[in-house]
Amino acid sequence: MAPGSRTGMGAPRLLLHAPTAGALARARSNAANVIAADPTAEVRIVANAEAVAAALAEPEPRTDPLLLLCGNTLRRLDREAPARLATVPVAMLAIAERVGEGWIYVRA
């Protein structure tokens, strides 16, 4: 099998972790690039810590549907996610659960 070939594998399931504003920018770019290269890919971005405030301040229509915001961080910031953004109660648990389901973890 050639390098980069995915013969015999299902669609990739990529979990991008963004704990900072810079990481969120990289994760959004990576997610868009992965989906452009392989439209069957499943990609999610889990944002916690300072990335949550960045996601609220700077909407990104292409990748916001992939975003999961940490509920703990939202409470700490005394903020609520707009209806367009999904949340998870605890980012670290959401990451652990998805890794357990076979998602590939990448720290953006």
Three-state SS for the chain is: CCCCCCCCCCCCEEEEEECCHHHHHHHHHHHHHHHHHCCCCEEEEEECCHHHHHHHHCCCCCCHHHEEEEHHHHHHHCCCCCCCCEEECCHHHHHHHHHHCCCEEEEC
pTM of this structure: 0.90
In a domain, 80, yes or no: yes
Please indicate, yes or no, if residue 7 is contained in any of the structural domains.
Answer: no
* Structural domain contains residue 6: no
Rounded to whole angstroms, how far apart are CA atoms 103 and 8? 17
Query: How many domains is the chain partitioned into structurally?
Result: 1
Q: Identify the domain containing residue 52 by its residue range.
A: 13-107
Q: What percent of the chain has pLDDT over 90?
A: 90
5 inside domain: no
Q: The CATH number of the domain where 52 resides is what?
A: 3.40.1260.10
Per-residue pLDDT tens, the chain, 108 aa: give them. 333 445 557 889 999 999 999 999 999 999 999 999 999 999 999 999 999 999 999 999 999 999 999 999 999 999 999 999 999 999 999 999 999 999 999 999
